[in-house]
Amino acid sequence: MNILFAQMRRDLALIWAGRGEAAVMLAFFLIIITLFPLAIGPDVATLRPMALPVIWIAALLASLAGFSRIFAEDVRSGWVDQVALSPLPLGIYALSKAVTHWLAGGLPMLLATPVLALMLYVDLESLAPLILALAIGTMALTLLGVLAAALGEGARNGGSLMALLVLPLAVPVLIFGTLASTPDDGGLLSPHMLLLMAVLAVLLAIVPVAAAAALVEAETDSS
Amino acid sequence: MRGMRVLQRGLSHQMGAGEITRLHGPNGAGKTTLLRAIAGRLRPAAGVIACDVPIIYVGHADALAAARSGRDNLADWARLNGFDAQRDRITAVLSDMSATSFADLPARVLSRGQRRRLSLARLLLGPKTALWLLDEPSTGLDSAAASQLDAMIGRHLDGGGMVMAATHLPLAAVHNGGTLTLQAPA
């Protein structure tokens, strides 16, 4: 457990050192959402029904925008070799990357969402389900991103191909996420919200194993 | 095996406490590949590799995060392995490697030799009985640091440790051990 916290501490320090990159994710999210009212016009009747899908698509794109570099530096520098020899399992290492990546990318997006939602005329009542669904959804998307990044390292030059393979897996998150953001009865724990949580639970179980298998194959350049 | 190509067949070697094995062989013979296989990062195409002591691997890549200082990098590594990461311990190891003067600079601004010293400093943080796997350990080191490394390896062997090094230098020449020569692949 201490080892996991040590790894997370290192990852957070590295993210803080390269905080410009995390800020780009947030800026990407903000800009996508701001572009919609500019393109469509400030009409309430057209903007309101589009608000939630727009926020979700922006969250999906922004979550997946910053992931390709998650392991690159550690693989290149040989840190992954050192993790492989250490008592810390590679799967837990991947999970640590997911948690820190979410803290740096997902959490700021969540904090910005209320303001953006008001800009798009989202009702105050549906703000709570939206935030909860986005929190779960961005966690699931981050796990998918970590999986894609690990597969990309394992396959060396296949990074972009792997991203294409993983993107369709984000579709269930998008579907359940948008539905959970607009519950029929107004309750927070709608069936769709529960299904979204189930998607997250499945990913939590699968991603460490799959990412570890991919990272075993990841190699430093022996230059 | 490397890139679907078998590099060495019928390789057999055994080592005990206090012994050093120097790996020789022309470029491309598989010295790095053998070290990585022993470190568990590559699977041999056939056969068994067994080791009953902790392994510390210092390869070509120095495993230093460019944005972290040398001191933080060492502490990160020690914590990762559950070794003593107290500030005093790290400071002592840094001064053993004559790395104190640049220990608090981010690794990105260091020279190759300085980075190599930091990655070799890891060896001193681990247990005395560990097997050190060194891949061209003296690359980039000046002559003072290279003789320091030689003395360090000697002390480790005297303390009951083991060393396997791919090197062309006569490291720890006075100690027990052998040479494993790899032939160029056909």
CATH number at residue B45: 3.40.50.300
Write the residue in A3, A220, A223 that is nearest to B80 by C-beta: A3
Residue B33 placed within a domain: yes
How many angstroms separate the CA atoms of B161 and A156, rounded?
36
A217 at B interface, C-beta within 8 A: no
How many angstroms separate the CA atoms of A214 and A202, rounded?
18
Is residue A2 over pLDDT 70?
A: yes
Left, alpha or beta for A88 (phi > 0: left; psi -120 to 50: alpha)?
beta
- Inter-chain CB proximity A78 and B60 less than 8 Å: yes
Closest CA to A66 of A106, A7, A31: A106
Write the residue in A6, A76, A87 that is nearest to B76 by C-beta: A6
Who contacts B92 (Cβ-Cβ below 8 Å, separation ≥6)? none
Q: What angle do CA B152, B157, B163 make, to 5 degrees?
A: 85
How many angstroms separate the CA atoms of A129 and A126, rounded?
6
CB contacts under 8 A, B 17-56 vs A, are 32, 36, 39-41, 55-56
Most A-contacting residue of B7, B55, B76, B115 (CB-CB within 10 A), to test interface: B76
Per-residue confidence (pLDDT) for residue A223, from 0 to 100: 36
Span B65-99, pLDDT tens digits? 888 888 888 888 988 888 887 888 888 888 888 88
Residue B175 placed within a domain: yes
Would the CA dihedral through B80, B83, B88, B89 be positive or negative? negative
Full residue range of the structural domain in which residue B155 is found: 20-181
Quote the minimal CA–CA distance from B73 to chain A in Å: 9
How many angstroms separate the CA atoms of B141 and A100, rounded?
36
Write the residue in A7, A18, A79 that is nearest to B63 by C-beta: A79
Could you give the 3-state DSSP secondary structure of residue B15? coil
Structural domains counted in chain B: 1
Per-residue confidence (pLDDT) for residue B173, from 0 to 100: 65
A152 and A64 in contact (C-beta within 8 Å)?
Answer: no
Q: Which ranges of A44-190 would DSSP assign to H, the alpha helix?
A: 44-65, 72-77, 79-85, 90-119, 127-154, 159-166, 171-181
Kindly list the averaged pLDDT for each block of 10 residues, start to end, along chain B of length 186. 61 82 84 86 81 88 86 89 84 86 87 89 88 87 86 88 83 70 71
Quote the minimal CA–CA distance from A111 to chain B in Å: 27
Among all residues of chain B, which has the CA nearest to that of A86? B81
Write the residue in A18, A216, A223 that is nearest to B67 by C-beta: A18
Residues in B touching A85 (Cβ below 8 Å): 39-40, 55-57, 81
A121 at B interface, C-beta within 8 A: no
- Inter-chain CB proximity A88 and B80 less than 8 Å: yes
* First and final C-alpha spacing in chain A: 34
Write the residue in B39, B62, B66 that is nearest to A85 by C-beta: B39
Residues in B touching A72 (Cβ below 8 Å): none
Predicted TM-score (pTM) of this structure: 0.85
Residue B6 placed within a domain: no
**Of A82-86, A91-95, B23-27, minimum mean pLDDT range:** B23-27
Is residue A205 over pLDDT 90?
A: yes
Q: What angle do CA B60, A87, B48 make, to 5 degrees?
A: 70
Per-residue confidence (pLDDT) for residue B172, from 0 to 100: 64
B149 and B121 in contact (C-beta within 8 Å)?
Answer: no
A2 at B interface, C-beta within 8 A: yes
Residue B68 placed within a domain: yes
The first and second tokens of residue B122, run together, are: 């890891």
Structural domains counted in chain A: 1
Would the CA dihedral through B110, B116, B119, B125 be positive or negative? negative
Residue B11 placed within a domain: no
